[in-house]
Amino acid sequence: MKLSKLILENKEIKYTPLPFAYNALEPHIDEETMKEHFTKHFKGYVNKLNDALKGKKEVDGDIIKVLGDIKNYDDKVRNNAGGVYNHELYFNIITPEGSSTPVGELKDEIIKKYGDFSKFKEEFIEAGLSRFGSGWSWLTLTKSGLKIHSTPNQDNPLMSYSEIKGIPLIGMDVWEHAYYLKHKSKRGDYIKDFFKVLNWDKVEDLYQNTKK
């Protein structure tokens, strides 16, 4: 999984299919939510970003370049480039299979920094719960190591707007559209369910790619 290769094909961001069935994450994340989230929300960001970047040849399809240079773009690009990148990450790290607890070198780093996995989880849950309104919670690899934090709307730690900057390893969507059909107003329950479908094998892959 290389998110930096989330590149235009024929000058258009490609809308890649979900690698598993919409109902594969049941009962934790329900089919209807997955279908709406993937085919309506995510697809909407893809289409709007393609539209916003039309004619901007300098971009050459590199969304990472756009995010790193985001202050030079308008809000339409900010919201939709963030939306595309964030959802690509999200849909790649949630799966019906895989390790449910940290693995590999990232596991060692998490234990070094947070003491144990349950303390890490507590802090991550708190970041998601305390984000007012819509946004994302992150585990980000920064120059000074791992950081848990959150951002509003579709911002992310690749953007200069983010207080904490680095490469995101985990992105958890806490917009209501990610959980409201099933979890209603109980964001905390959704976050607990998110951890049940979070694939730590993928997160470790991402950590190894990021360190290079």
DSSP, collapsed to helix, strand or coil, labels residue 139 as strand
The nearer residue to Mn ion, 124 or 136, going by C-beta atoms, is 136
Euclidean distance between CA atoms 194 and 89, whole angstroms: 14
The nearer residue to Mn ion, 36 or 109, going by C-beta atoms, is 36
Nearest approach, Cβ of 148 to Mn ion (angstroms)?
19
Which DSSP letter does residue 58 get? Answer: G
Cis? peptide before 157, omega within 30° of 0 = no
Nearest approach, Cβ of 36 to Mn ion (angstroms)?
10
Instruction: Answer whether 88's CB lies under 8 Å from 156's CB.
Output: no
Euclidean distance between CA atoms 122 and 200, whole angstroms: 17
Q: Residue 101: exposed, middle, or buried by beta-carbon count in 10 A (0-12, 13-18, 19+)? A: exposed
Interface ranges with Mn ion (CB under 5 A): 41, 173, 175, 178
200 token code pair: 């730590």
The nearer residue to Mn ion, 110 or 178, going by C-beta atoms, is 178
The nearer residue to Mn ion, 140 or 154, going by C-beta atoms, is 154
Instruction: Answer whether 28's CB lies under 8 Å from 12's CB.
Output: no
Those residues with Cβ within 8 angstroms of residue 72's Cβ, 6 or more apart along the chain or in another chain: none
The nearer residue to Mn ion, 102 or 128, going by C-beta atoms, is 128
Nearest approach, Cβ of 206 to Mn ion (angstroms)?
19
Nearest approach, Cβ of 87 to Mn ion (angstroms)?
6
Nearest approach, Cβ of 41 to Mn ion (angstroms)?
5
Nearest approach, Cβ of 42 to Mn ion (angstroms)?
7
The nearer residue to Mn ion, 25 or 178, going by C-beta atoms, is 178
| Widest Cα–Cα separation across the chain | 49
3 token code pair: 């998110």
